[in-house]
Structure 1
């Protein structure tokens, strides 16, 4: 491994120091830099299959993080994208454990970084064109004058891009151990880092990110990253399943005592307010429904499913009962309406029959007083009593009309 680094010194230099590392205030160069918010607890763990990053704990400095069933996804989906997050808390020695899958893609670099304000730095980096190796590296105060820091390590078993692996740092003031899946693959002692001058030893935050090394203007960086990126093959995803961070102290704040950058100069304070954590330490305020479901135990899931099925079954029974009751009520109302209709029809038929009877009676009465043919102009004769014939005329029974005029009854 050392031969690879020695043969390509410029490529080692072109790594993380030129990538997603930066400092807002370097206490070794600028006075009055603000204190660092400490973790404040022994252990912090967050499972991204269950929780999202709280903005109170994590700062998404560039890009956006997506959350899927297998964890937090850092994606390069187009040229110029390079999602990066860093913790708002710092640790002053301790452990950092990340379970993740590196991103594929020539020129794509996945990274885990510990970095302090004075540019002490510890790195894990994966080159997208190589799915079986990972590089470890470190810097002290941003010093890039030597080229013997980086080392490459083969990851045994499933490759780094298709399967999750556990990458852990165990950091103390005496030494720094790198682990892959529980096995130490590298140890850096304090005295071996330029007599301690280049040994990372000041409070550091934790950074997770993916960046397009193949797009760098530096030829050395492009070569180290594996060459130019083929964006026709996007997306390139780094997936982080979980993160565990432990701090060697329970301080709530770290104060820089001077500009030396030595670990002895750091002051531990406990009077500052502790950060409100997400993950297992406190409930995330930004959990999705899917992540909340994923976080439940199998027993809880079965209980919820049974409860939901019970509620649905009860709802269905109530619905059927209401439909049946409504149907019976509708049938009863229909019978009442039918009875009303039949009654109205009967009354109407009786009314029509009565009217017909009255018309018949009036017609029969009118026929009784009907005027015979030929007597239209003498209708008054029908309502007068009989008279004695005039002018010797004959009786009505004997002949009808007489020569002297009309014969009246």
Structure 2
């Protein structure tokens, strides 16, 4: 997404007055200041269509703020109004998500700002006369002469509908995100190797003001898009909901020295946490990447360790199951092979028995042929029933088989009488 930087340097020279909502009660770079009240929970969400701001959580620094169907309404109805709220809690890295619709109107500025006591600052700024762009900006330690920090990005009609504007802030980088899409990233290294990187506990500020008010310097009026015409009031910025995720889990943040470095911040747990007025639940508009970035480093390490442990255990269980299954498969194969071999043996034995029976049957058939001579057609019933002795010669017609030489047409019946043939 391309940025837009069409702001003349002459105009930028007056922008120190634009950020009238930025101030500090005590600068820890110059003195010892009271501890900052920490948010103390992973996610704090408040829906302004269902809840109003509690004085314990939000400090209304300029009124009025009303509530309607669109949520919290920051309205300029007449000259001199600049409705603004500031959280009573601080976050030390994390995420801030706001569902909002900025106000229209020439010279009207809608903003969401993170600011620390030593004046580290991160901004979303919307110009009422420009319904196509949003300004992203940051400052470090109150140095508002870094005019090149501001970059404008195109947005699809922000004044006509609600969009999700999120800041994802860590010690390594800062992301400006619109509807889940990162439009800008500032790394710690790119910000003068951390010297210009916002890195100290910040509160959350929401507000609307007339940058085009005739009392403002001309440079501010030009930056705001021109003079404000109060005859066209009211001008309303609507905030539907806010979600804040604190990367730390302390109840207080204390500056350990005057360096303003994030390494010097001490996280304490000596007091009770802040009693919140919303729901301590994650936003449904968070991406997985945003949820992960919002977790403290220790929690990330624990999650990574648990996930690695679960994956490792799963691999071990899987390997063990594969090993057992392989052994079981081998055992089943051996059993099946034994069954197969047994069946093969039984089949072979059956075949051998069948072959033996066939052989015996053939032998019995051969034996019957050897002991009984075939019946001669010349023989009568006697010949069929009484075979000749094995040494007898076959009977020849006209000759007597007996040694006495009878040839009267009768044959000797082997001691059983004569029989005519």
Q: Normalised by the shorter chain, which TM-score bucket?
A: 0.5 to 0.7
How much has 1:235 moved relative to structure 2? 0.2
Larger radius of gyration: 2
Change (3 A) 1:146 1:202: same
Deviation (angstroms), 1:3: 6.2
* Superposed displacement of residue 218, structure 1: 1.3
Given that 2:119 and 2:140 are in contact with CA atoms closer than 8 Å, whether structure 1 keeps it comes out as: yes
Alignment correspondent of 1:106: 106
Q: Is the 8 A contact 2:7 2:223 kept in 1?
A: no
- Distance in 1, matches of 2:44 and 2:59, equals 16
Q: Cα distance 1:109–1:15, how it changes in 2: closer, same or farther (>3 A)?
A: farther
Q: Deviations over 1:126-158 (max 9, x none)?
A: 0000111100000000112322100001113xx
- Alignment partner, residue 95 of structure 1: 95
1:328-368 per-residue CA deviation (whole Å, 9 max, x = no partner) reads: xxxxxxxxxxxxxxxxxxxxxxxxxxxxxxxxxxxxxxxxx
1:198 to 181, 190, 196: 196
Q: Give the equivalent residue in structure 2 for 1:73.
A: 73
Equivalent residue for 2:408?
none
Compute the displacement of 1:191 (Å). 1.5
Equivalent residue runs for 1:277-292 within 5 Å: 277-281=276-280
Contact between 2:65 and 2:73, CA under 8 Å: does it hold in 1? yes
Is the partner of 2:220 in helix, strand or coil? Answer: helix
2:324 equivalent in structure 1: none
| Native 8 Å contact 2:125 2:135 kept in 1 | yes
User: Cα gap change, 1:116/1:35 in structure 2, threshold over 3 Å: closer, same or farther?
Assistant: same
Q: Secondary structure at the match of 2:60?
A: strand
SS in 1 for 2:135: strand
Q: Which runs of 5+ in 1 are unaligned?
A: 283-409
Q: For residues 16 and 244 of structure 1, what CA distance do their matches in structure 2 show?
A: 29
Give SS of 2:12's match: helix
Secondary structure class of the residue paired with 2:27: coil
Partner of 2:119: 119
CA RMSD of aligned residues (A): 1.7
**Scaled by the length of structure 2, what TM-score is found?**
0.64
Q: What does 1:98-177 align with in structure 2 at a 5 Å threshold?
A: 98-156=98-156, 159-177=157-175
- Map residues 198-237 of structure 1 onto 2, 5 A cutoff: 198-215=196-213, 216-237=215-236
- Following TM superposition, by how much is the alpha carbon of 1:13 offset from its aligned partner in structure 2, in angstroms? 5.8
How do residues 374-393 of structure 1 correspond to structure 2 at under 5 angstroms? none
- Equivalent residue pairs, number: 279
Gaps of 5+ in 2: 282-421
CA shift in 2, pair 1:16/1:207, >3 Å: farther
Residues in 1 aligned to 2:244 and 2:10: alpha-carbon distance in whole angstroms: 32
1:231-270 residue pairs with structure 2 within 5 A? 231-270=230-269
SS of 1:4 mapped into structure 2: coil
Separation in structure 2 between the aligned mates of residue 17 and residue 275 of structure 1, nearest angstrom: 32
In structure 2, what is the Cα distance between the partners aligned to 1:13 and 1:76?
A: 23
- Secondary structure in 2 matching 1:244: strand
Taking structure 1 as the reference length, the TM-score comes to 0.66
Q: Does 1:178 align with 2:176?
A: yes
Residues 65 and 72 in structure 1, CA contact (< 8 A), matched pair in contact too: yes
The 1:203/1:9 distance shift into structure 2, 3 A limit, reads farther
Gap change, CA 1:3 and 1:86, over 3 Å in 2 = closer
Aligned partners of 2:41 and 2:280 also within 8 Å? no
Deviations 1:203-251 (Å, cap 9, x if unpaired)? 0000000011011431111100011100010000000000000000111
